[in-house]
Amino acid sequence: MKRLRDSRLVRFGAIAGSVALVGSTAACGSSDSGSSTAAADSTVSKKVASIAALVPKSIADKGTLTIAAATYPPAVIEPADGATPTGWDVENVRRIAAVLGLKVQIKIAPFNGIIAGLQAGRYDGATGEIYATAERTKTVTFVTNHASADALMVPVGSKITSAATDTALCGRTLAASLGSAEAALADKLAGKCKSAGKSAITVKTFESQAEVNLALRGGRVDAAVSSASQVAYVMSQAKGQFKLVELPWAPKYKTGFILPRNSDSAKFAKAVQAATDHLIENGELQQILDKFNAGQGLIEKAEILPSTGSN
């Protein structure tokens, strides 16, 4: 069994170099319509009959999973020409589905509408380095396949050179994606500054990560809070414009394939968990992370969050 990889993603330079190679033609923005779709890549992993047998009949009969994903490179990369989305989390889902004998249709959607879309039954699942927070696991089920952490992105030349404590950013204006864990973290920091009697933090949220990046580039905010891999990706695309500041006190998160809660979810989660473990054991998930994310974030074993008993 492979050892747990460092979820803090400390090899930022390696990440940036890796994603620059795979993302040079990708658009950083999310689709305005939220309706971009793509069929599964038929060249990925082979069906494993013993694992596919775990899939609920209603899903197996349908044959194709409709998966929501917000553009969030390098986890979800939406090509500018409207071609098939890719990225490490998209490829994870495609290979998991292939092991289960299923196909996948990726629908690019606004991040803040994904959980509601799952609850409404519009999607069979979701992906895109979405953090498994306590709030989210109240309404949807995660099958983990990755570990992640947050970092700060600032313009080159910024006076923000470090953030050793969670009050180091008091008095700053921070940007994050609407509905994201990063937005919640920024709000929490603002509360800490207020409680400590320090200068207030202003939090600005935007519909997409692309808008966050544009706000930072345009000087409308002092810094953006994003996952470390997303920061490194933007740095690789906008060379010399931004730098990364570590947040050593920030929470570490598990991410993975997200499923709606319905009569099939408990059984299907076990099938996805078995498929994920298969891909961890045979090295395929590590290969995907090597290609898109400098090898960072692989977990030792998939978990169902919350546990199956609480579904």
Could you give all domains of the chain from N- to C-terminal order, each with its CATH number? 12-147+254-310 (3.40.190.10), 149-246 (3.40.190.10)
Residue 308 pLDDT: 54
What does the longest C-alpha to C-alpha distance in the chain come to? 60
- In angstroms, the CA 221 to CA 153 distance is 11
What the block records as the tokens of 8 is 């803090």
- HEC per residue, 263-303: CCHHHHHHHHHHHHHHHHHCCHHHHHHHHHHCCCCCCCCCC
DSSP E strand stretches across the chain: 26-27, 37-39, 64-69, 78-79, 103-108, 125-127, 141-155, 173-177, 202-206, 223-227, 242-246, 252-259, 304-305
Separation of first and last alpha carbons in the chain = 28
Tens place of pLDDT per residue across the chain (311 aa): 333 333 333 344 444 444 433 333 333 333 333 444 434 444 458 999 999 999 999 999 999 999 999 999 999 999 888 789 999 999 999 999 999 999 999 999 999 999 999 999 999 999 999 999 999 999 999 999 999 999 999 999 999 999 999 999 999 999 999 999 999 999 999 999 999 999 999 999 999 888 999 999 999 999 999 998 889 888 888 889 999 999 999 999 999 999 999 999 999 999 999 999 999 999 999 999 999 987 889 999 999 999 754 44
- In angstroms, the CA 182 to CA 195 distance is 20
DSSP 8-state code for residue 229:
H
- In angstroms, the CA 238 to CA 1 distance is 37
Query: What number of other Cβ atoms are within 10 A of residue 35's Cβ?
Result: 9
- Centroid of chain to Cα 176: 14
- In angstroms, the CA 56 to CA 276 distance is 17
DSSP secondary structure of 159-207: S-----STTTTTT-EEEEETTSHHHHHHHHHHHHHHHTTPPPPEEEEES
